[in-house]
């Protein structure tokens, strides 16, 4: 039976943050608190496997709200009533507040007033969605195993920063790679220090032309300073939209930055170039102006005024949405896709690879069942019955209209075939016909 007894020291919290500790400090401390609960003697009455609902029932009192909203201070005995300071500086942790704050400030220059306010927040006074997202993060970090909607404790803890009395700045910097994918972060941690000759090199496809690299760097620098402010201000973007075909102006709340599919994007909440929805991914090199605004500015759209100050989205939300369906445009409608691959192609390039959390192998019979739930059932059944049961079939939830998903499907042709949804299949068929005409002599 494993017992977790690590103190909330800064290198560990940085490792749990998987990125900027300053931005993710609240969540990072919450992940540490989850581990303190999940791996302790008196928590083993939580039978395995357990769901999020099972965990919630044992962790909170029965009066804890079940809806997806930040709970009020409803019960002083509920664990959601404890502040962050009460968690970190409890007698059993043996953590000195003065020392802890000093080390944190040397790591991230957080203003005293901001840190004071954070420490008085209730650690678990967050939405159900955020709590559920915590379990997903712990799974990705190797603290839990997941099967469907159920979780298991692990038999061996993942490698992590070890608590020491002397804080090693080199050790802290080592764990700043955690904004990368865990596998890539491990490579960087092991090989980024030069050993004789440089033996670790990272090459990525980057479509942004060199002439605009300085612009991208400038926007990232400006965003970093915006995120250091309290509160983070909204911004007015002037954006050259490829989808609209012209420059547009949008007032948004900047949430986070992602490098995805050869470019850097700002995930922002508010107005969109197409005047639909509440979210949009803005490619940084296409932003020509970024003007910070005040929250009292009369030009702010209603959606931002209605969400300020307590309901502005967090970066966690973007991660949670991307985990639900395949595609970076996490705000698009999710749909179920059924794919077929030639057996040999699957053996070489698909089987044993990770595409998305929802990308799952299904049997021929399961594929048939999925098709029977479709409106074009008879025609699709005829198509399926003409395919070999020995081929490989997969289902995945994807974002309908996501450009990067479309590029991946094109890369799999002709070895990969979309069976569902019918509309996507027809669109691909039309595209293939147009493409074939280019090569017919």
**Domain ranges (residues) in the chain:** 10-179, 210-313, 334-439
Instruction: Tell me: pLDDT of 357 over 80.
Output: yes
Which pLDDT tens digit goes with each residue over 52-77?
Answer: 888 888 888 888 988 878 888 888 88
Instruction: Tell me: pLDDT of 185 over 70.
Output: no
Q: pTM surpassing 0.75?
A: no
pLDDT class of 261 with cuts at 50, 70, 90: confident
Instruction: Tell me: pLDDT of 174 over 50.
Output: no
The residue that leads in pLDDT, 441 or 369, is 369
Which pLDDT tens digit goes with each residue over 379-392?
Answer: 899 999 999 999 99
> For position 186, what pLDDT does the model report?
64
Q: Which segment of 147-151, 301-305, 425-429 scores lowest on mean pLDDT? A: 147-151
Percent of the chain with pLDDT over 70: 88
Return mean pLDDT, the chain: 87
Q: Which segment of 78-82, 257-261, 385-389, 427-431 scores lowest on mean pLDDT? A: 257-261
Q: What Rg, from alpha-carbon coordinates, does the chain have?
A: 24
């Amino acid at each position: 039976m494993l017992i977790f007894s690590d103190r909330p020291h800064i290198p560990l919290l940085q490792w749990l943050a998987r990125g900027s500790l300053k931005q993710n400090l609240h969540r990072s401390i919450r992940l540490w608190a989850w581990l303190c609960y999940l791996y302790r003697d008196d928590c083993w009455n939580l039978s395995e496997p357990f769901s999020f609902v099972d965990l919630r029932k044992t962790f909170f009192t029965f009066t804890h709200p079940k809806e997806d909203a930040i709970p009020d201070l409803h019960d002083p005995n509920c664990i959601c009533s404890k502040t962050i300071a009460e968690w970190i500086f409890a007698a059993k942790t043996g953590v000195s507040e003065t020392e802890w704050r000093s080390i944190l400030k040397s790591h991230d220059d957080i203003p005293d007033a901001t840190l004071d306010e954070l420490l008085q927040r209730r650690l678990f006074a967050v939405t159900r969605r955020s709590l559920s997202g915590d379990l997903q993060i712990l799974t990705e970090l190797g603290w839990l195993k997941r099967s469907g909607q159920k979780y298991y404790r692990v038999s061996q803890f993942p490698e992590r920063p070890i608590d020491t009395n002397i804080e090693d700045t080199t050790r802290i910097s080592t764990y700043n790679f955690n904004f990368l994918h865990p596998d890539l972060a491990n490579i960087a941690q092991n090989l980024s220090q030069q050993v004789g000759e440089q033996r670790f090199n990272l090459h990525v496809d980057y479509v942004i032309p060199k002439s605009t690299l300085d612009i991208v760097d400038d926007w990232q620098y400006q965003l970093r300073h915006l995120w250091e402010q309290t509160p983070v201000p909204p911004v007015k973007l002037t954006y050259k939209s490829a989808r609209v075909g012209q420059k547009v102006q949008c007032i948004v709340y900047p949430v986070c930055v992602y490098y995805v599919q050869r470019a850097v994007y700002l995930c922002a909440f508010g107005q969109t170039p197409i005047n639909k929805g509440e979210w949009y991914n803005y490619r940084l090199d296409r932003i020509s102006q970024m003007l910070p605004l005040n929250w009292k500015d009369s030009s702010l759209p209603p959606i931002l005024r209605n969400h300020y100050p307590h309901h502005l989205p967090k970066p966690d939300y973007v991660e949670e949405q991307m985990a639900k369906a395949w595609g970076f445009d996490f705000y698009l409608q999710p749909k179920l896709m059924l794919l077929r691959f030639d057996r040999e192609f699957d053996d070489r390039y698909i089987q044993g690879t990770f595409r998305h959390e929802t990308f799952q192998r299904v049997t021929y019979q399961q594929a048939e069942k999925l098709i029977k739930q479709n409106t074009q059932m008879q025609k699709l059944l005829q198509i399926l019955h003409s395919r070999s049961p020995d081929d490989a079939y997969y289902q995945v939830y994807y974002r309908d209209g996501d450009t990067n998903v479309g590029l991946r499907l094109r890369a799999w042709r002709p070895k990969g075939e979309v069976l569902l949804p019918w509309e996507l299949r027809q669109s691909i068929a039309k595209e293939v016909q147009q493409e074939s005409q280019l090569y017919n002599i």
